């Protein structure tokens, strides 16, 4: 289906229902939908219009999305594609690594990027957990390269870290 105002394909189909005129369907391309939504801001349907406007701001081209999907965390190895499919990140470092890509998403979902709920009491445990995940990954890579000496060093470091955490938990 084509846009009502031009020859581009219509990607937005807006149905407006009013008591006086009944229902009216509009078929718009992205460009005309942006213009329509900006005009409608003063209307009672402004909340719907602002929600659609947020979606338009998040709009990424297929090429941008493919490039983003290939981006992966250096600590746990999760790709943005895996995150989009599962809805879960792999480690605490992902929030830092994917920050620029997550901010528009969080703004769209929560209307804010600032957390106002409960926070964990011990954030040091999350930091050490990220280090442990990265060390395990490095150890696996060392084994794949057949660098067994480096793998055993990493294994020993992991054991020391895990014993240190157990000792902290006993206190």
| Mean model confidence pLDDT for the chain | 76
56-70, 99-113, 133-147: range with lowest mean pLDDT:
56-70
6-10, 75-79, 115-119, 150-154: range with lowest mean pLDDT:
115-119
How does pLDDT run across 28-51, given as a tens digit for each residue?
888 887 776 655 544 444 444 455
| Stretch 71-94: mean pLDDT | 85
How does pLDDT run across 113-137, given as a tens digit for each residue?
777 777 666 665 667 777 888 899 9
| Stretch 12-19: mean pLDDT | 75
Whether 149 has a pLDDT exceeding 80, the answer reads yes
CA 93/CA 134 separation, integer angstroms:
10
Long-range contacts, stretch 25-30, CB < 8 angstroms, 24+ apart: 27/1, 27/2, 27/3, 28/3, 28/4, 29/3, 29/5, 30/56, 30/59
């Amino acid at each position: 289906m084509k846009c009502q105002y031009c020859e581009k394909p219509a990607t937005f189909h807006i149905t407006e229902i009013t008591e006086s005129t009944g229902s009216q369907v509009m078929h718009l391309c992205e460009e005309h939908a942006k213009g329509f939504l900006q005009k409608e801001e003063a209307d009672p349907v402004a909340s719907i219009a602002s929600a659609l406007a947020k979606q338009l701001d998040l709009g990424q081209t297929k090429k941008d999305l493919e490039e983003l999907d290939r981006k992966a965390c250096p600590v746990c190895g999760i790709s943005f594609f895996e995150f989009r499919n599962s809805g879960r990140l792999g480690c605490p470092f992902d929030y830092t690594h994917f920050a620029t890509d997550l901010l528009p998403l969080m703004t769209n979902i929560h209307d804010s990027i600032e957390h106002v709920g409960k926070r964990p009491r011990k954030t040091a445990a999350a930091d050490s957990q990220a280090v442990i995940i990265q060390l395990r990954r490095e150890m696996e890579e060392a084994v794949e390269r057949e660098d067994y000496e480096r793998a055993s060093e990493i294994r020993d470091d992991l054991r020391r870290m895990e014993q240190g955490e157990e000792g902290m938990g006993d206190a």
